[in-house]
Structure 1
Amino acid sequence: MGLLDNLKAKIGPAKGKVSHLAQQHEEKIQHGLDKAARTVDQRTKGKYSDRIQSGTGKAKGAVDRLAHKQDPGQETGGTTTPPAGPPPAS
């Protein structure tokens, strides 16, 4: 086994635990991300608002993917979650 195979084998059980915890505490995590974003935005006096919103959206998307990860035996139904943020310009 190579180094990456060893790492994957060791990380596998932790991935399930993280997914379960994200599912249990999704609202708290989302609230914490919002609170942190507001605090940073206030302290930077709005100078980096766009970047803060972008980063917060990406973090929320990652939490959402972790919390709603399907079991290997389940089908997803062919739907995908749209990315966070404004809709694309037409």
Structure 2
Amino acid sequence: MSMMDKLKQMLKGHPEQTGKGIDKAGDFVDGKTGGKYKGQVDSVQDKMRDQYGGGSGGGGGKGEDRPSH
């Protein structure tokens, strides 16, 4: 089993932590890029939530609780 397969299994088993991690990763990218790719980052976050769970309970879908840049 590859490392990616193991990560995918871990993500699917813990939706709340997954949602928080997705939000944190998106915030990190937005911070590093100055929010230049915010729309694309939000789109990827939504797709990851759909695929791995996490819903919007992890801290905000569509960048609701993110500071504007």
2:31 to 39, 42, 55: 42
Rounded to whole Å, the distance in 2 between the matches of 1:31 and 1:50 is 19
Deviation track 1:49-89 (CA, whole Å, cap 9, x = no partner) reads 0000000000000013xx8xxxxxxxxxxxxxxxx86xxxx
Q: Which has the higher contact order (CA 8 A, sep 6+)?
A: 2
Runs of at least 5 residues in structure 2 that lack an aligned partner in the other structure: 55-60, 63-69
2:35 is the counterpart of 1:62: no
Q: Among the aligned pairs, what percent are the same residue?
A: 29
Q: Which 5+ residue runs of structure 1 have no aligned equivalent?
A: 1-13, 68-83, 86-90
Structure of larger gyration radius: 1
Match of 1:31 among 20, 31, 55: 20
2:57 alignment partner in structure 1: none
